[in-house]
């Protein structure tokens, strides 16, 4: 049977050199003259040689792979993060492996342990809500596997962690300042707080933060203006129907949604029920996820600046992998949230 897999020995034999020379040349080791490195690369390309990365890792070398653990593959919010992380990795000839927990702690733990077992060089992790002890335990496991760790967001804890975050609490305050500046007095909030599990917890925390910030700004939310669903993907249509059935005088003038998926579905629901956005009611989103500029009305949203967060996290992890960092000097990169104005919000027009 014909041999199908070309090995490093085949490249070495074609050039009449030792296989260690080929190995060092393909890793751009400065001990190998540039002319020899070029000859080795040309020979490898001609023979269609592909390095065995697994073997290289087992022999004590680096995997040249970074892992990314995210909570949700449905939400386009994480697309800019991934694009920037991928770009940072490619600039340093690193590969990216992505896993999604789907808001399941056991699945998140399993995925992180798979990264550690694969000896990835580093991990970028957007964690689900978990205890400080649980976070510390995972940090120790990553360190024992030799993986650098960078957190995206996460709760404030007394742990020494490399982290890039855009504060969701600060984003809520920025959003409230914006709608108050527009003059809105009666504000509704919407969230998938009837949803079970960690995803529901995420919405419950956001809605509570929204209510607290509004109360602090002198805009306390009426109980009848808290709109609830169990589905953040499609439940906005249901909420739009609830609001549309009210007399106009009984509606809030603006609704602040706990994420953009919910806000976009609310706009779609209003479109089919004859409620005009923004002339009859304004809608404010949360996240500034891809897709907000599309649809019947472009969505104004408070941005957690996913692209900037992803760019900073990707570059931070690459720097840690390539250069290392003292364990007692973790870096915290803070990204400030901002309002991205589109068409779904206008100033309050009075009673």
DSSP 282: E
CA distance readout (Å), 57 to 6, 63, 79, 260, 345: 19, 5, 29, 41, 53
pLDDT by residue for the chain (351 residues), tens only, comes to 445 678 888 888 999 998 889 888 887 778 889 999 899 889 988 888 776 655 555 455 577 899 999 999 888 999 999 999 999 999 998 999 999 999 999 999 999 999 998 889 999 999 998 888 888 888 888 888 889 999 998 666 677 889 999 999 999 999 999 999 999 999 999 999 999 999 999 999 999 999 999 999 999 999 999 999 999 889 999 999 999 999 999 999 999 999 999 999 999 999 999 999 999 999 999 999 999 999 899 999 999 999 999 999 999 999 999 887 666 688 999 999 999 999 999 999 885
Q: What is the pLDDT of residue 2?
A: 45
Supply the pLDDT for residue 280. 97
Instruction: Identify the pLDDT of residue 6.
Output: 80
CATH architecture for the domain at 65-166+306-336: 3-Layer(aba) Sandwich (3.40)
Span between the terminal Cα atoms of the chain, in Å: 84
The DSSP code sequence of 75-99 is -GGGHHHHHHHHHHHHHTT-EEEEE
Reading phi first (left if > 0) and then psi (alpha if -120 to 50, else beta), residue 128 is in beta
Phi-psi region at 228: left, alpha or beta (left = phi > 0; alpha = psi -120 to 50)? beta
Q: What is the value of pTM for the model shown?
A: 0.83
Class of domain 168-303: alpha beta
Strand duo 282-287 + 122-125: pairing:
unpaired
What distances in angstroms separate CA 307 from CA 21, 90, 173, one per listed residue?
41, 16, 21
DSSP state string for 172-233: HHHHHHHHHHTT--SEEEEE-TTS-HHHHHHHHHHHHHHHHHHHHTT-PPPGGGEEE-S-TT
Q: CA distances (Å), 176 to each of 173, 228, 255, 343, in order? A: 5, 19, 11, 17
| One fold for 65-166+306-336 and 168-303 | yes
Q: Would you tell me how many other CB atoms lie within 10 Å of the CB of residue 181?
A: 10
Domain positions in the chain are: 8-51, 65-166+306-336, 168-303
């Amino acid at each position: 049977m014909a041999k199908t897999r070309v090995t490093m020995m085949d490249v070495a034999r074609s050039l009449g050199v030792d296989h260690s020379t080929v190995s060092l040349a393909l890793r751009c080791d400065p001990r190998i003259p540039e002319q020899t490195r070029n000859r080795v690369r040309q020979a490898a390309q001609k023979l269609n040689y592909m390095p065995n990365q697994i073997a290289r890792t087992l022999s004590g070398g680096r995997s040249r792979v970074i892992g990314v653990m995210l909570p949700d593959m449905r939400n386009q919010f994480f697309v800019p993060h991934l694009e920037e992380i991928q770009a940072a990795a490619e600039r340093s000839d690193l590969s990216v492996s992505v896993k999604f927990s789907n808001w399941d702690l056991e699945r998140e733990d399993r995925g992180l342990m798979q990264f550690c077992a694969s000896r990835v060089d580093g991990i970028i992790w957007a964690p689900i809500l978990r205890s400080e002890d649980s976070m510390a335990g995972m940090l120790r496991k990553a360190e024992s596997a030799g993986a650098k760790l960078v957190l995206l967001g996460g709760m404030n804890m007394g742990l020494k962690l490399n982290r890039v975050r855009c504060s969701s609490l600060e984003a809520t305050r920025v959003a409230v300042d914006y709608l108050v500046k527009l003059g809105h007095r009666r504000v509704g909030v919407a969230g998938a707080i009837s949803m079970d599990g960690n995803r529901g917890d995420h919405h419950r925390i956001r809605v509570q933060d929204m209510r607290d910030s509004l109360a602090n700004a002198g805009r306390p939310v009426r109980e009848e203006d808290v709109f609830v669903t169990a589905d953040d993907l499609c439940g906005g249509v249901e909420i739009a129907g609830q609001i549309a059935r009210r007399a106009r005088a009984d509606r809030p003038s603006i609704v602040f949604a706990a994420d953009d998926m919910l806000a976009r579905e609310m706009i779609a629901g209003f479109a089919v029920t004859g409620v005009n956005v923004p002339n009859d009611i304004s809608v404010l989103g949360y996240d500034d996820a891809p897709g907000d500029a599309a649809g019947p009305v472009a969505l104004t949203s408070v941005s957690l600046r996913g692209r900037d967060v992803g760019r900073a996290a990707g570059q931070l992890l690459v720097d840690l992998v390539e250069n290392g960092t003292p364990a007692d000097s973790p870096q915290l990169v803070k990204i400030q949230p901002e309002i991205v104005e589109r068409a779904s919000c206008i100033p309050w027009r009075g009673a």
